[in-house]
Amino acid sequence: MSGPEDSCRKPVTAPIATRRRLSQSGKTLTVRELEILRWAAEGKTVWEISQIRAVSEATVKFHLRNIYGKLQVTNRVQAMNEAARLGLY
C-alpha cells in the first residue's frame, strides 16, 4: 500500500536524448505514463497504482496499454525492459 510520502515523490522525467528519440518516432510518453511505468517497475499492481494516483483501475490499464503501444511491447515485463533500455527510469 502507499503512504503519504508516495504522493510527494518527484515526477519521473526521461533523459533529453531519450525524449528526442521517442518524439522523433512519434511515441512520446506522457508524464502520467512515465509515472505509471515507474510504479509498475516498483512492483505495484494495477489496483495499488489506482489508489496511489486516485484514479480507477480502468484508467491505469488505459495508460498501461498506451505505454505498451508506444514502446511496441505486449506486456509489463517487456515494457519495463524496454524503458530501462531507453533510460526512462
Report how far residue 69's alpha carbon sits from residue 82's, in angstroms, rounded to the nearest whole number: 12
Average pLDDT estimate for 54-74: 97
- Give 47-66 as a DSSP string: HHHHHHHTS-HHHHHHHHHH
Domains of the chain with bracketed CATH: 31-89 (1.10.10.10)
Say what the pLDDT of residue 11 is.
Answer: 47
**pTM flag (> 0.95):** no
**pLDDT tens-place string over residues 13-51:** 555 655 555 544 567 899 999 999 999 999 999 999 999
- Angle at the Cα of 71 (from 87 to 88), degrees rounded to 5? 15
